[in-house]
Amino acid sequence: MSMVAYKAPYLLQIMMDDEPLNPRTDYDNFGHMICWHSRYNLGDQHNFEDTNDLLKTLVRDSVSPDTLIAYVKSGKTDKVKLEYDRSAASWEISSYDTYFKKWYHEASIEGRLEVNRQEIFESLVDALSNADLYTLAVERNIILPLNLYDHSMLSMSVSSFIRRSQHAEWDSGQVGWIYATPEDIEKEYGSLTPESYEKANALLKSEVECYDYYLSGQCYGFRLYENGEETDSCWGFLGSFSDMVKEIASQSLPKTHQDMVDDLQEVSDTVTRYKGYEDLMEDLEEMEV
């Protein structure tokens, strides 16, 4: 696709950028985008096996042993138990299997809690469900889901596509997470305040939106000619066509000619990227006949 408009002495050509930079590999990013997909290579490079592996890592890195042990002992989870067996002088860890509806013994750790705090912590991390790990991890990390819509094109969002995209019940689902650690937030904003967390949350969402533009092919470039000579060009616009057109008009055209973007006409020829000024002017003349 190529859109062309002329208002003497300017000719503006806007077209799809079919070789855009990948925001996740070619840009500096704040968040960590972790995805798993059998057919597509999405997000950032990583070594996490699955969601469980990711959440365990976040809990180990950001949750203290005392906090996790208190979480389990207080009964905030109904899937894991930590009980002291006085006869064996050991701490017993059990987990509940929702499928078989049975409790299973996970570990026995002899000795006092104070002495074996780290070992108990590691055993509890291994026993907890993803739901509990997520609850613990989001106390200090920002973690947002990544949903992919795969229906004639790819689109990504932190929100579900169900009830807002055609056939999303079959053609969409969660493929990963984007997250920021306390260290990331403090480095970016200088503090760990509610305000910095709010800003970090918004920044993660904007990174997903940018990646969505890339995946869905909303990538553009333009050329501007003045009196037949190319005077300006730029590639790698990621965003909606309307927003991109507004930016080009305000940044590259004089005020007297910003309205020419309202008269953009599509040139259907697929080789327009390689056409020059004379070819484009000829196309416009033919469309006026």
pLDDT for 156-168, tens place per residue? 999 999 999 989 9
Contact 94, 84 (CB under 8 A): no
Would you state the pLDDT for residue 221? Answer: 92
Mean predicted confidence (pLDDT) in 132-150 = 98
Average pLDDT, the chain: 94
pLDDT of residue 270: 54
72-79 mean pLDDT: 96
Percent of the chain with pLDDT over 90: 88
Confidence of residue 150 (pLDDT cuts 50, 70, 90): very high
Domain locations in the chain as residue ranges:
2-16+220-288, 32-50+141-215, 64-137
pLDDT of 108 > 90? The answer is yes
How much is the pLDDT for 274?
Answer: 73
Give the pLDDT confidence of 22-74 residue by residue, as tens digits.
999 999 999 999 999 999 999 999 999 999 999 999 999 999 999 999 999 99
pLDDT digits (tens, 9 = 90+) for 250-288: 999 999 999 999 999 988 665 556 788 998 888 888 887
